[in-house]
Chains A and B, each alone.
Chain A
Amino acid sequence: MTGLRYVYAVCHPLGAPLQAQLTGVAGAPAKLLNHHGLIAVVSHVPEGDFAEEALHAHLEDLDWLTDTARAHQGVIDALTVVTTPLPLRLGTVFRDDSGVRVMMEEREADFRRTLDRLAGRVEWGVKVYAEAEPEKAAARPAAKAASGRDYLMQRRQQARATDDLWQKAEEFASRLHDTLSAFAEDARLHAPQNPALSGASGRNVLNAAYLVPREGSEEFVELVDRTKDDVPGLRVELTGPWAAYSFAGDTGAGA
């Protein structure tokens, strides 16, 4: 047998068929490997790209990483439509099917416990951006300072305006997080995002994930929508529904 096995997720047997022609990270179709009533979602990947050394080198290549991450997420996303998958971290690779089976056997109790905990739930991502900063910067050269003292005063005013904005942004973000956390079953705060990667404008002041039952999702989205125009200069962004990435690892290895 040539090729290695890349594992995307573990889930219960699917109630509905997986989307036909679902392609995985190396362009090969994603397949279901049943072991003792649990499913591992796998695909063949070439040894040339996914053996230790090659994979290591690839992971340092942001372009390769981008393509692979998107393909990985594409499979997880298709699964999320039909079931509650436990997403594995990118780059989980085995020599062959029997390697996958051994892993499934070793982790079976963990998987079942986590699947029970997350069944019927999805993750929603909510980010808040403060957008007013560029306007302030642009306004600066307009008023030319007549003296050193004026200059310092202007600087102080600018600093104060920026502080106000940050304070407002922080208050808004923490109020929003409280509201959404109260609705959601669970919540996680993530580090703010790097604009170079996200391509988003403004400064990311809240980056959070919320675990919400599928049937509560509509209401959750409405709840987020209602906050959107609350404060000028602040922007709220919603992503999802995601597989419960941010909540899957909790009872991981040790539990």
Chain B
Amino acid sequence: MSMAGRMPEPYGQGGGANLADILERVLDKGIVIAGDIRINLLDIELLTIKLRLIVASVDKAKEMGIDWWEDDPALSTRARRDELTRENAELRERLARLEPDRAKLEPDREKKEQEESG
């Protein structure tokens, strides 16, 4: 999908690696150390679990046209912050019009594409 294809591979050896390969390793594998910044590891685990659950039911989800990371409260507080997000998106759009270079940094555009294609 567009997310995976958007960027050139940043490294040469793991040429066949896709986004899922990278995420499953950097999020779910490797050594866990509690840093000074207490990110809620539980949330990362939720996210990883979510990625896993989706694996089992992705066909069903697709059938139902679910944009899975968008409307999942476990993955995204966006569901709860809907209004703020919409306002944010509006501001981003305005900003993008003013500053064309920033347009590619705008995450919401991608998601809209996702919604349209899914």
Q: Report A's interface with B, CB cutoff 8 A.
A: 4, 7, 10, 50-52, 55-57, 59-67, 69-74, 76-78, 80-81, 86-95, 99, 103, 107, 114, 125, 190-200, 204, 237-242, 245-246, 248-249, 252-253
With A59-B43, A91-B39 already in contact, the answer to whether A241 and B10 are too (CB < 8 A) is no
CB contacts under 8 Å to A, within B30-81, are 30-33, 35-40, 43-44, 47, 51-52, 54-55, 58, 68-69, 75-78
Inter-chain CA distance A92–B44, complex, in Å, is: 12
A contact residues around B10 at 8 Å (CB): 70-71, 73-74, 77
Total A-B residue contacts, Cβ distance less than 8 Å: 184
Nearest-neighbor residue (CB-CB) of A47 within chain B: B37
B contact residues around A114 at 8 Å (CB): 31
With A61-B107, A89-B26, A191-B52 already in contact, the answer to whether A77 and B11 are too (CB < 8 A) is yes
The answer to whether A199 touches B35, judged by C-beta atoms less than 8 angstroms apart, is no
Could you list 10 A-B pairs, sorted by A, with CB under 8 Å?
A: A60-B75, A76-B26, A77-B13, A89-B31, A93-B36, A99-B36, A237-B16, A246-B29, A249-B31, A253-B32
Inter-chain CA distance A65–B50, complex, in Å, is: 15
A contact residues around B15 at 8 Å (CB): 239
| Candidate in A62, A190, A237 with the most chain B CB atoms within 10 angstroms | A62
Inter-chain CA distance A103–B60, complex, in Å, is: 44
Contact among A10, A55, A63, A200 for B18, CB-based, below 8 A: A200
Q: Report B's interface with A, CB cutoff 8 A.
A: 1, 3-5, 7, 10-11, 13-33, 35-40, 43-44, 47, 51-52, 54-55, 58, 68-69, 75-78, 107, 110
The answer to whether B35 touches A246, judged by C-beta atoms less than 8 angstroms apart, is no
